[in-house]
Amino acid sequence: MTNKVSSGTVHKLPEDLKKTLLSNPKVLALWEDITPLARNEWICWVTSGKKEETRGIRIEKALSKLKSGMRRPCCWAGCLHRQKS
């Protein structure tokens, strides 16, 4: 198994999220299938949590939502970095 996992358009994939993605082949396959912009949205959503606890919860929620086939975070305004460009 490779340790290469794609990042987003603006944000680099953080190690904690990368480790979670690598731990689940089904989720990793979906991650690689979604667009770079969609990956960027997930990364930004996870990393926008200010507290370590919030970030951990978001990583677990992202894993669960990706497992169920969700391709973008729901009920979130989106990455502010994308809106600036």
82 alpha carbon, distance to own chain's centre: 15
pLDDT band at 80 (very low <50, low <70, confident <90, very high): confident
pLDDT above 60: residue 84: no
Find, among 73, 45, 46, 21, the residue nearest to 4 by Cα. 21
Mean predicted confidence (pLDDT) in 1-20: 86
Find, among 15, 6, 2, the residue nearest to 46 by Cα. 15
pTM: 0.84
Mean predicted confidence (pLDDT) in 59-77: 89
- Chain segment 24-61, per-residue pLDDT in tens: 999 999 999 999 989 999 999 999 888 999 999 999 99
The pLDDT value recorded for residue 5 is 92
pLDDT band at 83 (very low <50, low <70, confident <90, very high): low
